[in-house]
Amino acid sequence: MILLVQVIGALYGMLAVIFGAFGAHALKKSFSEAQLSSFETGVKYQMYHAIVLLVIGFNFGFNTTLETNIAYCFIIGTFLFSFSIYGLCLSDSKGKKLKILGPITPIGGLFLVVGWGLLLYSFIAEVI
């Protein structure tokens, strides 16, 4: 599990840099300001959670279900949240917005919130 979390964290980080550069250069011409802003939000959240995955990948032993669930929440949440935003922005710029992706973004966000909540709980449980 440790290696999986580290690999996905590094992959998400690398893709965030690539997508950020792609958005700043290639998409600037075909995206509206609102689309570009949304795309950048996806990139930012992806990078934030790539870093979190790397931190927990190097600090957790993944000996408990709680630690494993935290990692899965961040992995799944980042994928659903950021990649649904990318799909929405790209499809909207082509005039064929994939509306099915709309409800996926908040589900991804919910996974991220749960991941952060579980992480907070793990810290509080250590103190108590």
| pLDDT for 16 | 98
Q: What is the DSSP letter of 31?
A: S
Confirm if 52 and 72 have CB atoms less than 8 A apart.
no
Q: What is the pLDDT of residue 52?
A: 98
- Tell me the pLDDT band of 28, cut-offs 50, 70 and 90: confident
Residue 118, pLDDT above cutoff 90: yes
Please give the torsion angle defined by the CA atoms of residues 79, 116, 10 and 7, in that order, rounded to the nearest 10 degrees: -80
| Across 18-47, average pLDDT | 93
Q: Look over the chain and give the mean of its residue pLDDT values, rounded to a whole number.
A: 96
pLDDT over 90, % of the chain:
88
Residue 41: C-alpha distances to residues 20, 27, 60, 78 (Å): 10, 14, 28, 12
Of residues 128 and 120, the one with the higher pLDDT is 120
pLDDT digits (tens, 9 = 90+) for 59-112: 999 999 999 999 999 999 999 999 999 999 999 999 898 989 999 999 999 999
Q: Residue type at 102?
A: G
